[in-house]
């Protein structure tokens, strides 16, 4: 059974979908701001967790009832669904990316980051041809400023580029690594990745196209599976 959750239970799993949901909950869970959260239970055991933020639904599944989950998603009718590839029923409209994980000592606290958002956005835009896909600045500003103020994200801004990571209590998710084209192939990307990982700590996930996998592997990440972005047909 799927039911609305005002509070998420403590869960731990090396799945990027769960990390993404927990990072949303860390930043927004105690506010009146979206997102919404649901859990699926079977005999009082949590088998799935779902979140809806804007038009994107994320779901984590641990031996859950996938048929019930997908029927629920069709009722909610999000624009896009984010989940592990093995949870897909229909691959037709899915974009598949690879997921990498690096384990570092968990930080007890992550300090809030204060950064000019316009500069961070402009630097991240330099990587639009890589692992970064940004919304318009207005949407970016509202989301990221809230996360940064509530210890839900950390960022780095340099003259040659920028990095952004979303935080959850067990680690973080690399949201963007961007280097100016004129400074590439000089180790600046690895420098940014190392610094943002050290700021984040814990289990750190990265989601990327296959062409970028060697970058993460050489920086100590291990491939753990595939994630899917599924564009939903909305009636």
Residue of 125 and 168 predicted with greater confidence? 168
Residue 62 lies in a domain: yes
pLDDT over 70 percentage in the chain: 92
Of 30, 63, 94, the one marking the end of a domain is 94
Indicate whether 76 and 152 sit together in one domain: no
Q: Are 184 and 191 in contact (CB under 8 A)?
A: no
Indicate whether 75 and 126 sit together in one domain: no
Alpha-carbon span 139 to 83, nearest angstrom: 23
Of 65, 94, 123, the one marking the end of a domain is 94
Of 94, 124, 141, the one marking the end of a domain is 94
Indicate whether 88 and 116 sit together in one domain: no
| Number of residues in the chain | 235
Alpha-carbon span 219 to 226, nearest angstrom: 19
Note the pLDDT of residue 91.
66
The CATH code of the domain that includes 196 is 3.40.630.30
DSSP letter (8 states) at residue 128: T
Q: What domain range includes position 195?
A: 101-228
Note the pLDDT of residue 113.
59
Residue of 183 and 228 predicted with greater confidence? 228
Half-sphere exposure of 109 (CA within 13 A, CB side): 4
Question: DSSP H helical segments within the chain, as ranges?
Answer: 16-28, 66-76, 117-125, 137-149, 188-200, 213-218
Note the pLDDT of residue 234.
60
Indicate whether 86 and 131 sit together in one domain: no
Residue 234 lies in a domain: no
Indicate whether 78 and 28 sit together in one domain: yes
Indicate whether 63 and 109 sit together in one domain: no
pTM: 0.90
Query: In the chain, how long is the greatest CA-to-CA distance?
Result: 57
- In sequence order, the β-bridge partners of residue 59 are 50
Note the pLDDT of residue 133.
66
| Collapsed DSSP state (helix, strand, coil) of residue 183 | helix
Indicate whether 50 and 122 sit together in one domain: no
Indicate whether 180 and 211 sit together in one domain: yes
Indicate whether 110 and 195 sit together in one domain: yes
Q: How many domains does the chain have?
A: 2
Query: Residues 104-140: pLDDT tens digits?
Result: 998 776 665 566 888 888 888 876 554 556 788 888 8
Indicate whether 64 and 139 sit together in one domain: no
pLDDT at 160 over 60: yes
């Amino acid at each position: 059974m799927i039911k609305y959750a005002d509070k998420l239970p403590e869960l731990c799993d090396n799945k990027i979908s769960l990390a993404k949901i927990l990072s949303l909950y860390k930043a927004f869970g105690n506010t009146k701001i979206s997102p919404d959260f649901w859990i699926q239970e079977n005999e009082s055991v949590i088998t799935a967790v779902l979140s809806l933020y804007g038009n994107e639904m994320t779901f984590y599944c641990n031996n859950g009832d996938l048929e019930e989950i997908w029927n629920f998603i069709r009722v909610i009718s999000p624009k896009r669904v984010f989940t592990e590839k093995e949870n897909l029923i229909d691959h037709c409209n899915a974009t598949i990316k690879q997921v990498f994980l690096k384990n570092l000592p968990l930080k007890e606290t992550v300090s809030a980051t204060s950064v000019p958002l316009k500069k961070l956005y402009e630097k991240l835009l330099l990587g639009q041809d890589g692992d970064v896909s940004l919304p318009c600045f207005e949407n970016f500003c509202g989301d990221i400023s809230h996360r940064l103020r509530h210890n839900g994200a950390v960022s780095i801004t340099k003259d040659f580029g920028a990095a952004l990571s979303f935080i959850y209590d067990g680690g973080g998710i690399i949201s963007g690594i961007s280097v100016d084209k004129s400074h590439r192939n000089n180790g600046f990307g690895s420098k940014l990745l190392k610094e943002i990982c050290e700021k984040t700590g814990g289990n750190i996930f990265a989601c990327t196209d296959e062409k970028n996998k060697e970058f993460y592997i050489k920086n100590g990440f291990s491939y753990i599976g595939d994630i899917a972005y599924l564009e939903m047909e909305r009636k």
